[in-house]
Structure 1
Amino acid sequence: MTKLFWNVLKVSPVIVATFFAANSTLAAETKEQVTTVAQLSQEESNSLGQVTSVSQFSDVQPTDWAFQALQSLVERYGCIAGYPNGTYRGNRALTRYEFAAGLNACLDRVNELIATATADLVTKQDLATLQRLQEEFSAELATLRGRVDGLEARTSELEANQFSTTTKLVGEAIFNVSDAFGDERAGGGDLNSNTVFSNRVRLSLESSFTGKDKLQVRLQSGNIVQNNTVTGTNMTRLGYEADTGNGVEIDKVNYAFNFNDALRIKVEATGAEFYENVNVFNPDFRSSGSGAISRYGRFSPIYRQGSGGAGVTVTFNPGGALSLSGAYLAPRASNPNDGFGISDGDYAAFGQIAFQPSKAFNIGFTYAHTYDGGRDPDLTTAGNPNDINLTGSTGSAFAVRPFGNGVATSANHYGVQATFQPSSALTVGGWVGYTTAKSEAGATRGSDADLFYWAATLGLKDFGREGNLLGLIFGQSPTVTSNDIAGREDPDTSYHAEALYKVKLTDNIAVTPGVLVIFNPEHNDANDTIYIGTLRTTFTF
């Protein structure tokens, strides 16, 4: 290049467009990134890229002393590009590495001209100048090329040893220390409980084939035993229980995809749950690993209907404040025997209207219709008490099975849920639910029962430290308010009180001490208050 080119390079700042062509790690050495023509075309659709005229630089005027020099470089050699915002920044200082990167780009361009039989454009004087520059900056050029070689080697190794181009592994491990306290268990008898140390581990393989879909296969293992075995009530159950005897099980297989911009469909082969597919209006507490410590405190029981089997969920969101969700789940869908399967056994049909007029306010209206057949799915015989579960194992035993063990039950569930966020640090929410149930079998056929429940939540984010959460939950878990069957109506009212403080130690580790208090367990004031203390440590990766 000409002597004028040498002067421009020596005085000007970043005339080395493409000076990051050799190594993207130079971004740490310069506070602003200048990219190569190839990078610009691939990564920044609105960037300037390789300039074809010096007039493309918004901060270079024809009256500037360097205008003609830049014009010669651009039009003769084409080895200058600007910053992504279309500026040249001629008054900025230049480091030796930046200069070397720009020199490397110009050397490559000259070699390209020679290789394409256009060597007449390169004069002997220019070649001599380039040779002197190459010798002066030989160390920097060697460093740049070494970095490129190192990056290429690392990239090749990663590509050769990567697990999958479409699949990523997401994991969560929970260490739990907990104990139950109280004079007596619900229903009478001493509450004999020991402090336990238990765990739950989940590994999720999540694959995407189009970028807008997801295939999930989740493995689960754990030994967190249900508290109701010692307390006598489901009201004390934790929100992150899992007891597989520490054996590994596949608990979820599903595939979600966008039918179009407004319609998303999720098909589940096993482990289907409404609460993982729709908004439950309790953002701070819905997660089993980082939310409420209790089962009831995570969200309304209406979202637990039909859990565990197969089904499909469709969500329609045209982009405004309103979205609609519909779903159908069959807990015994995989059993081909009479009275089971997708349509001949237990099922839950679900619909929800979610309305978000502003970022601060969110409300949902939910309905579900369920049928529990009251039959053992393995032996196909009547009388399995655990097969009737009207409230997702929350609330009283009467609420779970209002007509008794193994009695087929249909029900209509109605729910209203809302959250209000007056600031980024404060969330207030809650839900109200009402259920009408009907006996579908035996001597009680045609009998009716009504259930009711509610809760209020308060979440204080960044309490004491960024990432921490102070949570308070208070409410009344499901209770039978009326029943045609004598003796199966709850006599009093239980209250659920919960406090937790999630401490974010790192981006991947959180510790959550919490306490759960159940007043009048099983909605019976003859029962003593029961306390549950927990310390949950959650690792995510």
Structure 2
Amino acid sequence: MKLFQQLLVAPAALGLLAPVAVSAAELNLNGVNQYAADSQEQVTSITQFSDVRPTDWAYQALSNLIERYGCVAGYPNGTFKGGQAMTRYEAAALLNACLDRISEVTDELKKLMAEFEKELAVLRGRVDGLEAKVGELEANQFSTTTKLKGIATFVIGANSYGGSAQVTPLGATVNNALFGTALVPGSEFADNARALQGATAFNYDVRLNFDTSFTGKDLLRTTLRAGNFADSPFGQPVVGLNALEVGFEESCGAGADCGDVVAINRLFYQFPIGSNFTATIGGRVRQDDMLALWPSVYPADTVLDVFTYAGAPGTYSLNLGAGGGLWWKSGNWSISANYVAANGDVGNPSEGGIGTSGSSETGTVQLGYGSSNFGLAVAYTYSNGAGIYTGNGTPLAAFGFANSESVNSVGISGYWQPTNAGWFPSISAGWGINSHNADDSTFVGEIVDGATTQSWYVGLQWADAFIKGNSLGMGVGQATFLTNSGNDSNLEANDGNYAWEWWYKFQVTDNISVTPALYYLSAPQGQLQKSDNDSFSNFGGLVKTTFRF
């Protein structure tokens, strides 16, 4: 209640307690006159009252009236007589003294209002406009707990192929088994690549993230995604390493066309447990959604998919399915553990479920240290079935993954970035190694069981390159390749390859960016193209436009 209202209510309340009629004999007119007269000699501090103590219940209220408004006086002997009953005349005298002070303040306010009349009118108009906009937003919002974040990406580009390397019998067997293609031994890889993916194409990817919070600290994420990259030049058979990070196509079974189909890509709930733990559970959650630290600052939405796994695709396989995880974080240190079953929604234990032979599962543990300038993580992943990552490698490495019963993977990744943009770029690097296990009673099993594959990358990014807000980047590394066969007498590893990418992002507006990019794959077929020492290479170019809303 405001002061003026309190002063009006006080005498009314006292009137209810006092007799309706007051006789002259009952009223000490001299005391009232004395009180009213002494009100002109206003006290300035509550300490001037000898009978008011800090322990009194009304001490603070009396102090505010004296020091803020200056409208309380005492008696000539320096007392306030707080315990003495107040008559209505005394209340009127007090009210009159306070009203005089408020009137003075009001006059000052009137002068200020007159002086700044124009400015106050402008502010009043802005406030009215803001109130109208807030009202409109509240009337049209679809949810008070959910925010929509969308990303739409256009990609137009093509590939060029060179070299005279021919398809070997082993190359035909591996490629046809992995991709269902019909490569003929003796034909050239370049000719097959041009025939299957030599055109210029325009593709798109759309992601809609609905982020919901019920407590302000939790997160329910629902992601809808659609794309039409299934038949694009980026990621088709023959050269799977030219797949783009943004190149999405919803899987819907062999031989089925899923282009332009909107589907649930993510659905998980994340919530804190105490001050240091965070739990995640979901029917469609990805491995990296449950990591407290991602050990890279090289942009994951740039160009080639091979550079978006922190250098260790086997470890950071990004397995997607039903799962859950828990991480602990204290200061810059964190420990994460999670489990994902790609077929966790299937009832048949031989084809899916949780913790079965058909789960296609991954289990990951990561120890990380991360600050704004520096980060490092060591991670281990066990995977089996379809949970074993088969992409992002040479065909021979992918063949080894596809025929493994289980894989143990270790990755070491980290980053450093300068505090301020300048000549020094951010640096991200990573290395991964994978150990394969298979039934060695078969010819393929002999090659795969005990085999190892490795990968590495280095990514550089210059912030505010040439123009503030723009970025320049480069990545180099080796996609997963076979470094040791389980049986060298059957297959001796010689599977090396190199991948490069260069890009420049123009930040056209806060919500629109345009990124032209070039990339080069020195030996995308790895060992399969080296039997006759002839080469086969892939050079590509594209322009990517990203809209964020």
When normalised by structure 1's length, the TM-score is: 0.69
- Bigger mean CA deviation after superposition, 135-144 or 462-471: 135-144
The amino acid of 1:334's aligned partner reads D
Unaligned runs of 5+ in 2: 1-43, 47-63, 73-93, 168-187, 250-257
Distance 1:178 1:424 in 2: 34
Distance 2:382 2:491 in 1: 22
Tell me, yes or no, if structure 1 residue 166 matches structure 2 residue 145: yes
Q: What is residue 178 of structure 2 aligned with on the other side? A: none
Q: What is residue 483 of structure 1 aligned with on the other side? A: 485
Q: What is residue 295 of structure 1 aligned with on the other side? A: 305
Distance 1:540 1:154 in 2: 23
How many residues align? The count is 415
The amino acid of 1:121's aligned partner reads C
Q: Secondary structure at the residue paired with 1:123?
A: helix
1:138–1:283: structure 2 CA closer, same or farther, 3 Å change rule?
closer
Contact 2:482 2:495 in 1 (8 A): no
Contact 2:290 2:338 in 1 (8 A): no
1:306–1:421: structure 2 CA closer, same or farther, 3 Å change rule?
closer
Contact 2:314 2:388 in 1 (8 A): no
Contact 1:451 1:481 in 2 (8 A): yes
Q: Secondary structure at the residue paired with 2:396?
A: helix
Offset, 1:130: 7.5
1:460–1:154: structure 2 CA closer, same or farther, 3 Å change rule?
closer
Q: Secondary structure at the residue paired with 2:427?
A: strand
Residue 332 (structure 1) aligned to one of 343, 348, 354: 343
Q: What is residue 427 of structure 1 aligned with on the other side? A: 426
Q: What is residue 341 of structure 1 aligned with on the other side? A: 353
Q: Secondary structure at the residue paired with 2:142?
A: coil
Distance 1:424 1:186 in 2: 50
Q: What is residue 537 of structure 2 aligned with on the other side? A: 529
Residue 411 (structure 1) aligned to one of 402, 407, 411: 407
Tell me, yes or no, if structure 1 residue 218 matches structure 2 residue 223: yes
Contact 1:365 1:415 in 2 (8 A): yes
Q: What is residue 90 of structure 1 aligned with on the other side? A: none
Distance 1:266 1:459 in 2: 31
How many percent identity over aligned positions? 26
Q: What is residue 371 of structure 1 aligned with on the other side? A: 384
1:155–1:274: structure 2 CA closer, same or farther, 3 Å change rule?
closer
Tell me, yes or no, if structure 1 residue 201 matches structure 2 residue 206: yes
1:120–1:151: structure 2 CA closer, same or farther, 3 Å change rule?
farther
Distance 2:278 2:221 in 1: 15
Unaligned runs of 5+ in 1: 1-52, 56-69, 79-116, 373-386
1:456–1:236: structure 2 CA closer, same or farther, 3 Å change rule?
same
TM-align CA RMSD? 3.5
- Bigger mean CA deviation after superposition, 292-301 or 275-284: 275-284
1:471–1:281: structure 2 CA closer, same or farther, 3 Å change rule?
same
Offset, 1:183: 2.9
Distance 1:515 1:418 in 2: 25
Q: What is residue 401 of structure 1 aligned with on the other side? A: 399
Q: What is residue 156 of structure 1 aligned with on the other side? A: 135
Tell me, yes or no, if structure 1 residue 360 matches structure 2 residue 377: no
The amino acid of 1:162's aligned partner reads Q
Offset, 1:169: 0.4
Contact 1:306 1:330 in 2 (8 A): no
Residue 497 (structure 2) aligned to one of 490, 494, 502: 494
Q: What is residue 462 of structure 1 aligned with on the other side? A: 464
Residue 259 (structure 1) aligned to one of 235, 256, 273: 273
Offset, 1:342: 1.2
1:246–1:131: structure 2 CA closer, same or farther, 3 Å change rule?
closer
Instruction: Write out aligned runs for 1:40-119 (5 A).
Output: 74-76=68-70
Q: What is residue 322 of structure 2 aligned with on the other side? A: 310
The amino acid of 1:338's aligned partner reads P
The amino acid of 2:451's aligned partner reads A
Q: Secondary structure at the residue paired with 1:296?
A: helix
Q: Deviations over 1:305-340 (max 9, x none)?
A: 361211112111122x32111111111000111221
Offset, 1:229: 5.7
Q: Secondary structure at the residue paired with 2:481?
A: strand
Greater Rg over alpha carbons, structure = 2
Tell me, yes or no, if structure 1 residue 538 matches structure 2 residue 515: no
Q: What is residue 17 of structure 1 aligned with on the other side? A: none
Offset, 1:488: 5.5
Distance 2:405 2:473 in 1: 36
Offset, 1:145: 5.6
The amino acid of 1:415's aligned partner reads G
1:468–1:144: structure 2 CA closer, same or farther, 3 Å change rule?
closer
The amino acid of 1:453's aligned partner reads S
1:219–1:134: structure 2 CA closer, same or farther, 3 Å change rule?
same
Distance 2:133 2:236 in 1: 55
The amino acid of 1:365's aligned partner reads V
1:120–1:143: structure 2 CA closer, same or farther, 3 Å change rule?
farther
Offset, 1:251: 0.7
The amino acid of 2:539's aligned partner reads Y
Distance 2:113 2:521 in 1: 80
Distance 1:310 1:202 in 2: 20
Offset, 1:249: 1.0
Distance 1:176 1:54 in 2: 75
